[in-house]
Amino acid sequence: MLHNSYFYYQLTRKYVILFGSLFNDITVIRKDKDTGSELKRMNVPIIYGPKDKYITRINSDPDLQRETQITLPRMSFEIRSMAYDATRKQNSLLRHAKADSASKSNSMYMGVPYDLTFELNIYAKNIDDGTHIVEQILPYFNPDYTVTINAIPELGFLKDVPVILTSVSNNVEYEGNFDSVRYIHWTLAFTVKANYYGPISKPKIIKRSITNIFNDPSIVRGNIIRINTENGNNGTFMIQDTIYQGSNPSTANAYGIVMSWNPTINKLEIGAAQGTFNVGNKIKATSTNASYTIESFDATPLKLAVIDITPKPNTAQPGEDFGYTTVITEWPNT
């Protein structure tokens, strides 16, 4: 199966409520044609439902004047489609997290982006009522309007949800000839940039981080290089002496600083290396004139540093202010 734990966050319901609440306070005002004084103020009702249902009911009412009529103006909305949005995909390994206790946290992977297409339908008995409503909506979408929601209360993170207006169209339904308008129908299409989330896990809280840094033994230049030399009593290397590969220091094609030298096992460690050292070439010391041929390079990774990070104070609990103590131990003390 896809997973072994139950989860349901009512996210689709939250997006529906979010969308509908954007338009639940639209008002239409009727005024006297002669004086301009207010005659009537109406809050335009909005409900979730398909437009075909309301158009059928409107068309079945011969005069829109009965007490059981559908009151106009009014609005309805519905989800028309859902589609994955690859342009908003984030790293699949990123996670949201919030402390649940002193030792554990609530954690989940980043949301999967989906575009929800909503359709807002406006029904009015005359052109002025229709434009009255539309003109109270359009200025807020340029072309998007962003709403912040608490998507997953268990994690307590707020998510910005852009609502984008993608199209506006209208249709005038006439009764009989074209002199009598029956009703006006506006359709506004929107895209809601939603996210869906998987189950919550409860991993332990990390209270200490230890990072070990090693050199790459395949690199024979830079950092620290460990060289196995051929046998032979050809002098000794002194710590901090400069060694070079070539006929003389001024024309050397590689050089470095002696970090350690063990003549018993013919092992030389150099640092601050520049250029590329090659097996079979001779290396020489500038101070002692020691000279040895490179037999091979030590392929065992060398620990260069250890970084140890802990909370400060180390008794800090989730939600408290705290700093960090960082201890860095570098080669050769590692």
Last residue of a domain, one of 196, 225, 248: 196
pLDDT tens-digit series, residues 148-181? 999 898 888 889 999 999 999 998 876 656 555 5
Q: Which residues contact 315 (CB under 8 A, 6 or more apart)?
A: none
Q: What is the mean pLDDT of residues 219-225?
A: 63
- Judge whether residue 217 has pLDDT over 80: no
pLDDT at residue 39, as a whole number: 84
pLDDT tens-digit series, residues 64-105? 444 444 678 999 999 999 999 999 998 888 888 777 777 788
Same domain for 243 and 123, yes or no, is no
pLDDT tens-digit series, residues 40-65? 888 999 999 876 665 655 555 555 44
pLDDT confidence band for 306 (50 / 70 / 90): very high
Structural domain for 224, as ranges: 206-334
Q: Is residue 220 part of a domain?
A: yes
In this structure, what token pair is assigned to residue 89?
Answer: 């995909």
Same domain for 210 and 87, yes or no, is no
Q: What is the DSSP string of 265-305?
A: TTEEEEEEEEE---TT-EEEETTT--EEEEEEE--S--EEE
Same domain for 238 and 328, yes or no, is yes
pLDDT tens-digit series, residues 289-303? 899 999 998 877 778
- Average confidence score pLDDT of the chain: 85
Task: Give me the number of domains the chain comprises.
Answer: 2
pLDDT at residue 65, as a whole number: 47
Q: Which residues contact 262 (CB under 8 A, 6 or more apart)?
A: 268
Specify the range with the lowest mean pLDDT, choosing from 22-26, 79-83, 152-156, 264-268. 152-156
pTM equals: 0.64
pLDDT confidence band for 12 (50 / 70 / 90): very high
Last residue of a domain, one of 141, 171, 196: 196
Q: Is residue 4 part of a domain?
A: no
Last residue of a domain, one of 168, 196, 224: 196
Same domain for 231 and 133, yes or no, is no
**Which percentage of the chain shows pLDDT scores above 90?**
47
Q: Is residue 3 part of a domain?
A: no
Same domain for 210 and 188, yes or no, is no
Kindly list the distances between the CA atom of residue 60 and the CA atoms of 26, 72, 213, in Å, as whole numbers in the listed order: 27, 14, 78
pLDDT confidence band for 17 (50 / 70 / 90): very high
